Amino acid sequence: MPQVRVYLACSLDGFIAGPENDVSWLEGPHPGLPHRDPDALTFDAFMAEVGCLLMGRTTHDVVASFGTWPYGETPTLVATRRPLDPAAETVWAVSGTIDEVIAAAVRTAGARDVYLDGGDLIRQALEADLVDEMILTYVPILLARGTPLFGGLMTRRSLEFESHRSFGEGMFQVRARRRST
């Protein structure tokens, strides 16, 4: 059964983007910090398990501004209610409730996993208890303001930590799964 998974980086104080969707802080290196753990999940290894990417409109627009689409041929659904100028031929607009757009992503993914990306979309999926796994890589920086990952959550969710690792240039990766009931 495909899993709905979140894979993202955030600042130590929990922001996934700085003010005005600034992600320049994700560009390394962070010199003088601990070594790379070979068991940490890298982006390429994660994407090899993904059959569909479901992202929010703001995330699409930020990534599209980079000029090169980083997701290759992976089918990408963008949750939006506005007309979309897709960043690649493999990008399509979807709309509906969080349940409906995730169901569309699961159908598109086939037997592989769904990669969920975008702060508001992730919060909606967490509220609806639709996220199976979160892989968060904390970057050793304090942004102080911007787009919070968990800001606005209204419902408590219990998770189980699967692993934690030092990763890359002083980054720390945590894997957590939805707690079985």
Tell me how far apart the alpha carbons of residues 62 and 153 are, in angstroms, rounded to a whole number.
23
pLDDT > 70 fraction of the chain, expressed in percent and rounded: 92
Tell me how far apart the alpha carbons of residues 41 and 175 are, in angstroms, rounded to a whole number.
9
Rounded to the nearest integer, the mean pLDDT of the chain is 90
What was the pLDDT predicted at 119? Answer: 92
How far lies 15's CA from each of 59, 118, 153, in Å?
14, 12, 14
Tell me how far apart the alpha carbons of residues 174 and 171 are, in angstroms, rounded to a whole number.
10
Residue 30: strand, helix, or coil: coil
- What amino acid is encoded at 157 in this protein? R
The pTM of the full predicted model, rounded to 2 decimals, is 0.89
What was the pLDDT predicted at 33? Answer: 43
Tell me how far apart the alpha carbons of residues 130 and 140 are, in angstroms, rounded to a whole number.
29
pLDDT > 90 fraction of the chain, expressed in percent and rounded: 72
Query: What is the arithmetic mean of pLDDT over 86-114?
Result: 96
Beta strands in the chain (DSSP E): 4-11, 15-17, 50-56, 76-79, 91-94, 113-117, 133-139, 147-148, 159-167, 171-178
What was the pLDDT predicted at 124? Answer: 96
- Containing 106, the helix (H) or strand (E) segment is helix 98-109
